[in-house]
Amino acid sequence: MSQSLPFDQVLTHLHSMDASALRFTRGIEKEGLRVNPDAQINAQPHPHALGSALTHPHITTDYSEALLEFITPVKDNAEEVLAFLDEVQRFSYQHLNGQMIWPASMPGVIRDELDVPIASYGSSNVGTLKHVYRHGLWHRYGRKMQCIAGLHYNFSVSDELWQAIAQWQGETLNKDFISQGYFGLIRNFRRYSWLLLYLFGASPALDASFLDNDEHGLEKWDDETFYGPYATSLRMSGLGYQNNAQDDLFVCFNGLPTYTQTLKGAMQQSMPQYEAIGIEENGVYKQLNTNLLQIENEYYSDIRPKRNSKNGEKPLTALNEHGVEYIEVRCLDLNPFEALGANIDQIHFMDLFLAYCLLSPSPKLSDSECNEVSENHKRVVMEGRDPNFTLCRHGERVSLKQWGLELINDMLPLAKTLDEKANSQTMQNALSTMQARVEDVSLTPSAQVLANMKSKQYSFKDFALEQAKQVAQSFIQPLDEQKIQYWSDLAHQSLDQQHQIEAADSSDFPQYLAEYLVKS
């Protein structure tokens, strides 16, 4: 973070802290496409038994009507997060009627992008806004890109730990201090997130139907599949969340004011290519506006500062007014070998990695370092498993293996301290698992995906379909009656809430949209 204390002094302070204060909280948002047994996207509406995608607190949809999103509560205990994820998916599987949830980040077969149904949220103004925003994404970037699934990791620090950090530095604890601390975390994350792409990237191949032209730089696996021999995460490459219009959008992560000013500017900058699309035609809305970003969420980033907004506040307004509340990591692929998309070692390592980013000195990012960060990111997703692969660090080339082992070695004292306070070995065990992946590239999920495809002579579709069947089998055992009742009641309550929102609307959508867009 933006502090002068060396890391070894921070560790000394951590040793003297009460274990109850040394806490992190995390929550997970896991996406997954509903597919048919032939690996094609299911075009049916969001299952009624799962409730309202607009108002359900834990089961919703992302871009597509078929792209389920499971949202856990924020928990102090990592095991409880995964247990909740298991429970919500176990309930959902009972209502999929033979459909499966695609376990990979890159989608299965998409014959025509119009086969991808855009999510619907009912007839209310707020539901229509969400739907029109997604129409805008279609017209700007196409529907295929929006079918990519991932796992978002929400991380925050206890109030007691923030109080302790402020005390070490002789600072007053307030929202600005906390925001500065989270932005310090974000800067270090951007410096080191290539390690996450290497360790957890699990999308080295994709179905040929995803590609619209020959300008992709991938090699042919078979008639149905293209792949990168050394790729880690095609999801995070230019083939995945590509956004040419945003290429020139430089977002500064050196602090909250510069971050929000940049995004606000992009939300006010009209783009000629979007003006050509138009906002609506014959009463059908094509997008919310013609600006570079329709809303804040259109900015694609591997990490975001976040705040839960209230009373209809826009996210950036809430951030500016009340400060950063937590950070959202967005660069994690689904692990197709894990029914939950991730396992407990990954959760513990994410906590350790993010704590390391927070507690380590984090100088401001210069323009040259920003360029290095961007270049390292672009190259590791395509070439990260190449034994000769090097990253750029302060103008010098360094092998991924060397830098990765240096970071893991730097994290070890923190892992020991956290384990000592928790009377466990979980952090050190997770760190040891990741160290093995840095030392042996064949242990990475991306390498294992290709090894599995090769040993079984599978296309990407066949591989992911087999994993989908195994995942579905693992969730076949239903919940007990009490939990089924809980989830059924929650679904009914969400449907009732959606109806109430629709009944309470007092203006038509054009008026609602005009008022929404002028909000600060």
Question: 199-213, 230-244, 281-295 — which is least confidently predicted?
Answer: 230-244
Beta bridge partners of 392: 397
What predicted TM-score, i.e. pTM, was given to this entire model? 0.96
Q: What is the largest CA-CA distance in the chain?
A: 67
| Whether pLDDT at 491 is above 60 | yes
SS3 404: helix
Phi, psi angles (nearest 5°) of residue 231: -70, 150
Please compute, for residue 115, the number of CA atoms within 13 A of its CA located in the half-sphere on the CB side: 16
- DSSP letter for 203, please: B
Whether 387 is in a domain gets the answer yes
| Whether pLDDT at 241 is above 80 | no
Whether 2 is in a domain gets the answer no
Q: How many domains does the chain have?
A: 1
Mean of the pLDDT values across residues 286-313?
A: 91
Angle at 314 between CA 312 and CA 317, to 5 degrees: 120
pLDDT score at 239:
82
Residue appearing with tokens 């928990």: 75
Whether 1 is in a domain gets the answer no
What would the two tokens of residue 315 be?
């996210």
Whether 219 is in a domain gets the answer yes
pLDDT band at 489 (very low <50, low <70, confident <90, very high): very high
Percentage of the chain modeled with pLDDT above 90: 86
pLDDT score at 214:
76
pLDDT score at 1:
43
Give the list of residues 6+ apart from residue 180 with CB closer than 8 angstroms, or none.
1, 2, 255, 256
| Whether pLDDT at 41 is above 70 | yes
Residue appearing with tokens 């500064």: 252
- DSSP letter for 213, please: S
pLDDT score at 2:
43
| Whether pLDDT at 229 is above 50 | yes
| Whether pLDDT at 4 is above 70 | no
Mean of the pLDDT values across residues 449-458?
A: 98
Mean of the pLDDT values across residues 410-423?
A: 96
Task: List pLDDT tens digits, range 173-223.
Answer: 999 999 999 999 999 999 999 999 999 999 999 999 999 877 788 999 999
SS3 391: strand
Mean of the pLDDT values across residues 419-442?
A: 97
- Residue 163 domain boundaries: 7-518
pLDDT score at 74:
97
> What CA–CA distance (Å, rounded) separates 54 from 148?
20
| Beta-strand runs (E) in 400-450 | none
Contact of 214 with 398, CB cutoff 8 Å:
no
pLDDT score at 183:
97
> What CA–CA distance (Å, rounded) separates 139 from 128?
17
- Nearest CA to 324 among 424, 205, 223, 180? 180
pLDDT band at 19 (very low <50, low <70, confident <90, very high): confident
What would the two tokens of residue 106 be?
């890159």
Task: List pLDDT tens digits, range 139-157.
Answer: 999 999 889 999 999 999 9
pLDDT band at 242 (very low <50, low <70, confident <90, very high): low
DSSP string, 202-217: -BSEEEGGG--SSTT-
Tell me what the pLDDT averaged over the chain comes to.
94
Task: List pLDDT tens digits, range 48-105.
Answer: 999 999 999 999 999 999 999 999 999 999 999 999 999 999 999 999 999 999 999 9
Whether 409 is in a domain gets the answer yes
Percentage of the chain modeled with pLDDT above 70: 98
Contact of 400 with 192, CB cutoff 8 Å:
no
Q: Can you give 225-280 as a three-state secondary structure string?
A: EEECCCCCEHHHCCCCCCCHHHCCCCCCCCCHHHHHHHHHHHCCCECHHHHHHCCE
Whether 103 is in a domain gets the answer yes
CATH number of the domain where residue 202 is located: 3.30.590.20
pLDDT score at 219:
96
Work out the burial of residue 10: count CB atoms within 10 Å of its CB; fewer than 13 is exposed, 13-18 middle, 19 or more buried: buried
Whether 178 is in a domain gets the answer yes
